[in-house]
A and B are shown apart, each in its own frame.
Chain A
Amino acid sequence: MEYLGQYKAVYKAKAGCEDILSKAQDGGIVTAMFAYALETGIIDGAIVAGPGEEAYKPEPMIATTVDELLAARGTKYSISPNMALIKEATRSYGLDKIGIVGTPCQIQAVRKAQLYPIGMRDVPDKIALALGIFCMENFPYQGLYQMVEDHCATKIDNVTKMDIGKGKFSVYTERGVNAQIPLKVTHKYEQPGCHVCLDYVANLADISTGSVGTPDGWSTVFVRSAAGEAAFNKAVDAGWIIAESMDGVKPGLELVTKLATEKITKNQKYIEHRAHAEHEALKPLRNPYI
């Protein structure tokens, strides 16, 4: 539990709808949950990482239709500042019940804005559903571009899917070309800010989901809050999501826990390293957790 946050239940799950699954990264949980929540009025809009001007450069957008949600499917391994729209969603978009998806740090931002709304008037009571995605680290767009174009020798515009798993960064194209590089090669492109992050499975979300732990085409889902539980159970009952027990699923929670422990231990160590004067800077570096 320690490394996976508080949760009420954990499932192996996927969307019940083929349209959603066709281009989903894994089980299509985020798209299916938001689509169900939009259709049933749990939310009236969702902040998602939509397609940007360049291939795989995400652009935060507010989806108020299922079509717009579908356009945002698939992981883009680059920064999408979803929180930038959180206030605007309550303003010119006129939303009352906001859905937002984000990496662990973005869900932290949502919760912080709810408890300590600094310049965030009207935001705290308008968050209806916060979906978190597992995240080991992220890349600036320039880094991702170099990983794909140089290391994988693939034109980024041709890429249909990217995936990090089993120790590899994999790139797929329409013609089936599949380039893979070891993760070791990608480390230098990581966003430095990710190295102080102590959250792997979006501990603060209503529902968090990710690929690790379940077979391809399925997602691991943690149902955490009361709001998350109510929405998830209804989505399952309505057939939008197929959920099965995690019992006996391979590699299961064992692998999730292992990766979470690795991330947190490594980053905790880095935070401590920053606090010491032998760090290359003359003074200890700031620690946002204290």
Chain B
Amino acid sequence: MSKVVEISPTTRHEGHSKLVLKVNDEGIIERGDWLSITPVRGVEKLAIGKTYEQVPKIASRVCGICPIAHTLAATEAMEASMGVEIPDDAYLLRIILQCANRLHSHALHDILALPDMYLPGTDSKINPFSPEEPVRSVAKRIQTLRMIGQTIGEIAGGEAVHPSNPRVGGMYKNITPRARTKIYDLAKQALPLAREQMEFMIAVFENYAKRDWAEMCGREVAIPKDLGFHQQGYMATDPCYGSSSLDEHPTWDPARWLEVRPWDWYMGEEEITLEDPAYPVGGTTKAGGKAWPQMQACTGVPLYDGQPVEVGPRARLAMYRNYDRKGAIGLNIAREMEYMDSVYKMIEAADALNTSGSVVADVIPQGDGTIGWAANEAPRGADVHLAKVRNGKVEWFSMLVPTTWNFPTCSRALTGAPWELAEVIVRAYDPCVSCATHMIVLDEDNRLVAQKLLE
């Protein structure tokens, strides 16, 4: 006889979400739904009629951890719709900004993921706020990496949170030779730290993978070997930056994309029949309550080839580096493996940058309503924005954000895990729930119209 347990809210990730879990007598998840309960802010709807300059700045405010992704994807979606080719030096500055943000975001996620993990070879969990060694120096290293990421983002992008430098057509400003040297020095400082951090985190995750149990709710919970496995496949557009409909060979295909409602994908109304007041901290939802994922989920469900897919670090590594490790730990390790690339890439881009080059396109056409899209490989995966611009105004705008793609995929990946470890699986996706929550567009028959727009 299966029971339903609900963890609400979930913690140690961005935004507001919950887990509705149908479990068997052993507490193993038979079917799990992880859903956003962040209020819909409706950025896509309110973008309509605004200028192409405003909308990327508004879209940036979707998320403060990965504002770079939304700024760049939205700006480039406008550029794709309007047919604007940006100068090389603007592109290089955007790459530096992109990598700086990935460095900061992955380091931040380490802080969120570590408290689930154990110091290798011991039975003590890691508290990143502890003043004790070895954790103290790990925390300091993480903060140094974040400081470097944010400072470089600030120089190249104008601002670390909500970058001010990107504009439709390129960038507002090139940087000075002094600023380029500063980026270079900071990146050089980050290299050994990123390597140490990556190696430390991989050791910690490998140790978790070898463990038989983890302590949860005051008891030992068995860790399955297939924790977080799923069969949904991957989607990525680039190992580092992204792609857009202006590319000669775009790496994302809107024809393979379809969006459905949570109604088609999530569980119906359920009564909560299992509660555990010992779940840290504050227990699970009380028994007798109702959960209705179909109605409560605040995201659309985007499909690629008719299925939810995984996006993010593992998707990038799987598609471009033949990475094949599955499950929650495989995903965490893939994220750590991206550290070095993000630092090396910004050093390469800083090397190639001409600080006296022009950074804004000579001509910026005002758009004729053509649909354009741009995918940005955000820290959490492919962030695809689509836009139609006519006479300088946004006619239609849509955001397919990484965590939106991951919501249904991760839900499927919960099956087979003890419910107490469901959040460990969720966290492996480094969810960004504010990012994921956006408007869904229905027509008269309550079917989604997004795909029709592309035809």
Task: Pick from B160, B161, B174, B181: contact of A92, CB below 8 A.
Answer: B174
Contact: B176 with A91, CB < 8 Å? no
Contact: B182 with A92, CB < 8 Å? no
Complex-state Cα separation, A22 to B160, whole angstroms: 43
Task: Pick from B154, B182, B183: contact of A122, CB below 8 A.
Answer: B154
Task: Pick from A94, A96, A122: contact of B176, CB below 8 A.
Answer: A94
Contact A64/B154 with A92-B165, A92-B173 known, Cβ cut-off 8 Å:
no
Chain A 275-289 per-residue mask, 1 if CB under 8 angstroms from chain B, else 0: 000000000000000
Residues of B within 8 A of A44 (CB): 178
Complex-state Cα separation, A45 to B158, whole angstroms: 18
Residues of A within 8 A of B161 (CB): 121
Most buried by A among B178, B181, B183: B178
B270 at the interface (CB under 8 A from A): no
Contact: B159 with A121, CB < 8 Å? yes
| Closest A residue by C-beta to B153 | A91
| Closest B residue by C-beta to A95 | B178
Contact: B175 with A94, CB < 8 Å? yes
Residues of A within 8 A of B183 (CB): 94
> Min CB distance, B14 to chain A, in Å?
20
Residues of B within 8 A of A91 (CB): 154-155, 158-159, 165, 173, 179
> Min CB distance, A32 to chain B, in Å?
23
Residues of B within 8 A of A92 (CB): 155, 158, 165, 173-176, 179
Residues of B within 8 A of A268 (CB): none
Contact: A94 with B182, CB < 8 Å? yes
Contact: B178 with A94, CB < 8 Å? yes
Complex-state Cα separation, A92 to B177, whole angstroms: 9
Residues of B within 8 A of A93 (CB): 175-176, 178-179
Residues of A within 8 A of B181 (CB): 94
| Closest A residue by C-beta to B175 | A92
| Closest B residue by C-beta to A93 | B176
> Min CB distance, A42 to chain B, in Å?
16
| Closest B residue by C-beta to A64 | B178
Contact A90/B154 with A121-B159, A121-B160 known, Cβ cut-off 8 Å:
yes
Residues of A within 8 A of B155 (CB): 91-92, 94
Q: How large is the interface on B (under 10, 10 to 19, 20 to 34, 35 or more residues)?
A: 10 to 19
Residues of B within 8 A of A94 (CB): 155, 175-176, 178-183
Complex-state Cα separation, A122 to B159, whole angstroms: 10
Chain B 140-162 per-residue mask, 1 if CB under 8 angstroms from chain A, else 0: 00000000000000110011110
**Residues 77-133 of A contacting B (Cβ, < 8 Å):** 88, 90-96, 121-122
Complex-state Cα separation, A45 to B161, whole angstroms: 25
| Closest A residue by C-beta to B164 | A91
Residues of A within 8 A of B178 (CB): 44-45, 64, 93-95
Most buried by B among A45, A92, A121: A92
Complex-state Cα separation, A245 to B378, whole angstroms: 62
Complex-state Cα separation, A91 to B173, whole angstroms: 10
Residues of B within 8 A of A122 (CB): 154
Complex-state Cα separation, A94 to B186, whole angstroms: 12
Complex-state Cα separation, A121 to B41, whole angstroms: 26
Complex-state Cα separation, A94 to B182, whole angstroms: 7
Complex-state Cα separation, A30 to B160, whole angstroms: 33
> Min CB distance, A221 to chain B, in Å?
30
| Closest A residue by C-beta to B160 | A121
Complex-state Cα separation, A96 to B165, whole angstroms: 19
| Closest A residue by C-beta to B185 | A94
Most buried by A among B154, B160, B161, B181: B154
> Min CB distance, A71 to chain B, in Å?
17
Complex-state Cα separation, A196 to B210, whole angstroms: 71
Residues of A within 8 A of B160 (CB): 121
Complex-state Cα separation, A88 to B183, whole angstroms: 15
Residues of A within 8 A of B154 (CB): 90-91, 121-122
Complex-state Cα separation, A92 to B156, whole angstroms: 6
Contact: A88 with B173, CB < 8 Å? yes
Complex-state Cα separation, A90 to B154, whole angstroms: 8
Complex-state Cα separation, A122 to B154, whole angstroms: 10
Residues of B within 8 A of A45 (CB): 178
Chain B 435-450 per-residue mask, 1 if CB under 8 angstroms from chain A, else 0: 0000000000000000
Residues of A within 8 A of B174 (CB): 92
Complex-state Cα separation, A91 to B159, whole angstroms: 7
Complex-state Cα separation, A44 to B159, whole angstroms: 20
| Closest B residue by C-beta to A91 | B158
Residues of A within 8 A of B176 (CB): 64, 92-94
> Min CB distance, B263 to chain A, in Å?
42
| Closest B residue by C-beta to A44 | B178
> Min CB distance, A38 to chain B, in Å?
12
> Min CB distance, B265 to chain A, in Å?
40
Residues of A within 8 A of B158 (CB): 88, 91-92
> Min CB distance, A99 to chain B, in Å?
14
Complex-state Cα separation, A122 to B153, whole angstroms: 13
Chain A 43-67 per-residue mask, 1 if CB under 8 angstroms from chain B, else 0: 0110000000000000000001000
> Min CB distance, B172 to chain A, in Å?
8
Complex-state Cα separation, A156 to B453, whole angstroms: 60
Residues of A within 8 A of B180 (CB): 94
Complex-state Cα separation, A88 to B176, whole angstroms: 11
Complex-state Cα separation, A45 to B176, whole angstroms: 12
Complex-state Cα separation, A283 to B175, whole angstroms: 48
> Min CB distance, A5 to chain B, in Å?
34
> Min CB distance, B173 to chain A, in Å?
4
> Min CB distance, B391 to chain A, in Å?
31
Residues of A within 8 A of B165 (CB): 91-92
Complex-state Cα separation, A44 to B176, whole angstroms: 13
Complex-state Cα separation, A269 to B161, whole angstroms: 44
> Min CB distance, B146 to chain A, in Å?
14
> Min CB distance, A65 to chain B, in Å?
11
| Closest A residue by C-beta to B158 | A91
| Closest A residue by C-beta to B165 | A92
> Min CB distance, B156 to chain A, in Å?
8
| Closest A residue by C-beta to B172 | A92
Q: CB within 8 Å of B: which residues of A?
A: 44-45, 64, 88, 90-96, 121-122
Q: Which 3 A-B pairs have the closest CB atoms?
A: A94-B179, A94-B182, A92-B173
Q: CB within 8 Å of A: which residues of B?
A: 154-155, 158-161, 165, 173-176, 178-183
Give 25 CB contacts A-B under 8 Å. A64-B178, A90-B154, A91-B154, A91-B158, A91-B159, A91-B165, A91-B173, A91-B179, A92-B174, A92-B175, A92-B176, A92-B179, A93-B176, A93-B179, A94-B175, A94-B176, A94-B178, A94-B179, A94-B180, A94-B182, A95-B178, A96-B182, A121-B154, A121-B159, A122-B154
A64-B178, A91-B158 are known; give 10 further A-B pairs, CB within 8 A: A91-B159, A92-B155, A92-B158, A92-B165, A92-B176, A93-B175, A94-B180, A95-B178, A121-B154, A121-B159
